[in-house]
Amino acid sequence: MTNYDDNLANSKHDAELSAQYRAFATETTPKELDTIVLRAAVKATKRRSSGWSTSWYRPVTVIATVGLGVALILELSQPQSFAPPPDIAPGASVFQDAAENAAISVRESDATADESLQLSKQGSSGTEAITATKSATVEDQQCNDEQLVRPEAWWQCIQELREAGHPGAAESELANLHKTFPRYVPAK
């Protein structure tokens, strides 16, 4: 207690004053007020008990949230596989195959063009005659496919055609040789 409290407590006059006040102040709370306040106190607890913390949907929400979180974590922790599509095999050289096919088609187209040029010089007409003539002159007045692969062999074939009395065929083969192997210089 403070000094003042001690003085007040021990003071005869102040103790008498306090006694007089206590004798004077005898009012009590009206019963209606008691009822109002106590009813409000009960109502407040009921409002609280039906709130968020005790409702049924809170545990359901918690469980659903936890479940989704676990599923997401498991999904993200799985190793990601980026395997190539099954139709693309490792090491496959699509471009190589395409290059080879293109070279074959170019050679075939050149051979066809040469045949056409030769047939036009010979002046033959008719598809069947041309076909028959071509097949008849392949061995006599044209170099075979094997000789066309190497320029030396092709040049040899041209010499043989000249010696065989087929200068036209030889010139035609020579033109094709220069077209196919432009840098090739025949040995004399």
Partner 1 sequence: MVAGDAQLSSCEKLAYAHPMSTPTKDSALMLRYKDGDVAAFETLYRRHNDSLYRYLLRLAQNQHAAEDVFQEVWSKIIKSRENYRPTAKFSTFLFRVAHNCFIDYLRRNKRHTHIGAIDPDTRPNPADEPELATEKEFARRRMAIALRALPDEQRDVFLLYEEAGLSIDSIATATGVNRETAKSRLRYAVAKLRAALIETGTSSAGDT
Q: Which positions touch partner 1 (CB under 8 A)?
A: 1-2, 4-5, 8, 12-14, 16-18, 20-25, 27-30, 33-34, 36-38, 40-42, 44-45, 48-49
Beta carbons of 177 and 155 less than 8 angstroms apart? yes
- Residue 12 or 183: the one with the smaller Cβ distance to partner 1 is 12
Name the minimum Å distance from CB 69 to partner 1. 29
Taking the complex as a whole, how short is the minimal distance between the CB of residue 40 and partner 1, in angstroms? 6
Buried b (16+ CB within 10 A) or exposed e, 150-174: ebeebbebbeebeeeebeebbebbb
Q: Taking the complex as a whole, how short is the minimal distance between the CB of residue 70 and partner 1, in angstroms?
A: 33
> Smallest Cα–Cα separation from 187: which of 151, 139, 135, 161?
151
Smallest distance, partner 1 to C-beta of residue 11, A = 9
Q: Which is nearer to partner 1, 36 or 64 (CB)?
A: 36
User: How many CB atoms lie under 10 A from the CB of residue 76?
Assistant: 8
Give residues with Cβ within 8 angstroms of 162, minimum separation 6: 170
Query: C-alpha distances in angstroms, 64 versus 53, 55, 59, 76, 77?
Result: 16, 15, 8, 18, 20
Nearer to partner 1, 35 or 116 (CB): 35
- For residue 172, give the nearest of 148, 136, 149, 150 by alpha carbon: 148
Nearer to partner 1, 50 or 96 (CB): 50
**Coil, strand or helix at 179:** helix
Q: Which lies closer to partner 1 via its Cβ, residue 1 or residue 94? A: 1
| Shortest Å, Cβ 67 to partner 1 | 31
